[in-house]
């Protein structure tokens, strides 16, 4: 048994070098397939980060009149927190609003001079509200219009922000749908291309397989070297892909972080290093073995 397995691995390794051109083409196609799978894995989390960032921008604010005291505002916040549709509520006092404005526009001399001319604190206390779904903001706005504290409310900016909120959630939905469809199409195409490339490599060994059949070689002895060849091709493709993706993520990470603060691609890559290796090995070695097994079947028919 061990002698047979040794011969199978030996013949499989020899096939790698005997058909150098086709082997290189197979490794290249497997590399593209593994790269695609890895990219989909990385883009899934990058897309989730961008979606979360977009969702964070969707909110409404309730501004209270000057005479509203903090206890009343906190009571409104308590009532809002009992609404299942409300995800998060942040209370911003007049002092916090003023400090935030100064910090954000401290380099603008015109705005700072205008603030000094106004005198005092022109900002209103507010509640910043986030909901889970876009349609739920209407329910929050309706609640605020009918609350017993409605006379203390200066303005609810829901209707001004409604078009932007709906656009954001519409974009999120489009990203999710198109991402799933695009991924399925690319994976199917990659598998078809890989299978046909390996089948072409095995085609050159058609006569050799027929001779082995005539001398009584078993199906597993004939199939084994091609499975080993597919596995080795997938392994080499995985190593190349892993090296290239490590370098790319390291080089692109600072640039991506510049445009999307908080999104560190290299840190994410290292944090999921072993998962990525498993995905790449499963894709490369698995696809190499499966494609080889399917491609050699036609030569094993009686």
CATH of the domain at 105: 3.30.70.3040
The verdict on 265 and 126 lying in the same domain is no
Q: What size, in residues, is the chain? A: 302
| Domain end residue (candidates: 133, 153, 188) | 133
Domain assignment of residue 108, yes or no? yes
Domain assignment of residue 104, yes or no? yes
Q: 70 lies in which domain range?
A: 59-133
Name the pTM for this structure. 0.57
pLDDT by residue, tens only, the chain of 302 residues: 556 566 666 655 666 666 666 677 777 877 887 887 787 777 776 766 766 666 666 677 888 888 888 888 888 888 888 888 888 888 888 888 888 877 887 777 777 777 777 777 788 888 888 887 767 777 888 888 887 877 888 888 766 666 666 676 676 667 667 766 776 776 677 667 767 766 766 666 666 666 666 666 666 666 777 777 777 888 888 899 889 988 988 888 787 777 666 677 788 888 888 888 888 888 888 877 777 777 677 666 54
The verdict on 25 and 104 lying in the same domain is no
Beta bridge partners of residue 250, listed in sequence order: none
Question: Do the Cβ atoms of 289 and 227 come closer than 8 Å?
Answer: yes
The span from the CA of 129 to the CA of 95, in Å, is 19
Per-residue pLDDT, 302:
45
Q: 16-27 as b/e, with b when 16 or more CB fall inside 10 Å?
A: beebeebbebbb
The verdict on 196 and 232 lying in the same domain is yes
Domain assignment of residue 150, yes or no? no
Report the 3 state secondary structure along 96-120.
Answer: HHHHHHHHHCCCCHHHHHHHHHHCC
Tokens standing for 53?
Answer: 């960032």
The verdict on 101 and 29 lying in the same domain is no
Longest dimension (CA), the chain: 101
The verdict on 50 and 64 lying in the same domain is no
Domain assignment of residue 151, yes or no? no
The verdict on 207 and 85 lying in the same domain is no
Per-residue pLDDT, 187:
65
- Which of helix, strand or coil describes residue 64? strand
The H-or-E segment that residue 137 falls in is helix 136-146
Number of folded domains that form the chain:
2
CA dist 185 → 175, 207, 280, 289 (Å)? 15, 35, 19, 22
Domain assignment of residue 18, yes or no? yes
The verdict on 209 and 288 lying in the same domain is yes
Strand-by-strand arrangement of the 126-131 sheet: 86-92, 126-131, 60-64, 153-156
Per-residue pLDDT, 55:
62
Domain assignment of residue 28, yes or no? yes
The verdict on 267 and 294 lying in the same domain is yes
The verdict on 210 and 283 lying in the same domain is yes
Domain assignment of residue 83, yes or no? yes
Domain assignment of residue 160, yes or no? no
Taking CB atoms within 8 Å and a gap of at least 24, the contacts of 164-172 are 164/58, 165/58, 165/60, 165/134, 165/137, 166/134, 168/54, 168/55, 168/57, 168/58, 168/134, 169/55, 169/58, 169/133, 169/134, 171/54, 172/51, 172/54, 172/55
- Which of helix, strand or coil describes residue 52? helix
Question: Do the Cβ atoms of 293 and 67 come closer than 8 Å?
Answer: no
The H-or-E segment that residue 61 falls in is strand 60-64
| Domain end residue (candidates: 109, 133, 157) | 133
The verdict on 283 and 181 lying in the same domain is yes
Give the residue from 161, 160, 86, 90 showing the smallest Cα distance to 125. 90
Strand 86-92 versus strand 60-64 pairing type: unpaired
The verdict on 78 and 38 lying in the same domain is no
The H-or-E segment that residue 289 falls in is helix 273-296
The span from the CA of 257 to the CA of 273, in Å, is 19
| Domain end residue (candidates: 133, 155, 188) | 133
Give the residue from 206, 231, 222 showing the smallest Cα distance to 26. 231
CA dist 290 → 106, 205, 226 (Å)? 63, 18, 10
The verdict on 47 and 81 lying in the same domain is no
């Amino acid at each position: 048994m061990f002698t047979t397995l040794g011969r199978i691995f030996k013949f499989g390794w020899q096939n790698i070098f005997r058909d150098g051109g086709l082997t290189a083409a197979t490794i290249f196609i497997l590399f593209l397939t593994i790269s695609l799978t890895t990219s989909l894995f990385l883009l899934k989390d990058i897309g989730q980060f961008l979606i979360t960032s977009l969702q964070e921008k969707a909110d409404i604010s309730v501004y209270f009149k000057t005479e509203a005291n903090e206890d009343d505002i906190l009571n409104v916040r308590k009532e809002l927190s009992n609404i299942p549709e409300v995800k998060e509520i942040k209370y911003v006092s007049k002092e916090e609003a003023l400090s935030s404005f100064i910090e954000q526009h401290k380099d603008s001399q015109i705005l700072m001079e205008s603030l000094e001319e106004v005198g005092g604190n022109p900002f209103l206390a507010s509640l910043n509200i986030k909901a889970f779904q876009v349609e739920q903001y209407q329910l929050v706005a309706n609640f605020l219009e009918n609350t017993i504290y409605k006379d203390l409310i200066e303005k609810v900016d829901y209707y001004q922000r409604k078009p932007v909120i709906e656009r954001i959630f519409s974009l999120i939905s489009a990203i999710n749908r198109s991402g799933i469809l695009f991924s399925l199409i690319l994976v199917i195409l990659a598998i078809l291309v890989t299978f046909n490339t390996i089948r072409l490599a095995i085609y050159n060994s058609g006569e050799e397989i027929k001779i082995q059949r005539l001398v009584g070689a078993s199906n597993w002895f004939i199939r084994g070297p091609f499975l080993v060849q597919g596995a080795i091709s997938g392994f080499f493709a995985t190593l190349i892909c892993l090296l290239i993706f490590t370098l790319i993520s390291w080089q692109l990470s600072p640039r991506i972080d510049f445009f999307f603060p908080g999104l560190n691609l290299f840190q994410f890559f290292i944090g999921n290093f072993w998962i990525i290796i498993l995905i790449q090995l499963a894709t490369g070695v698995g696809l190499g073995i499966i494609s080889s097994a399917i491609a050699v079947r036609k030569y094993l028919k009686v």
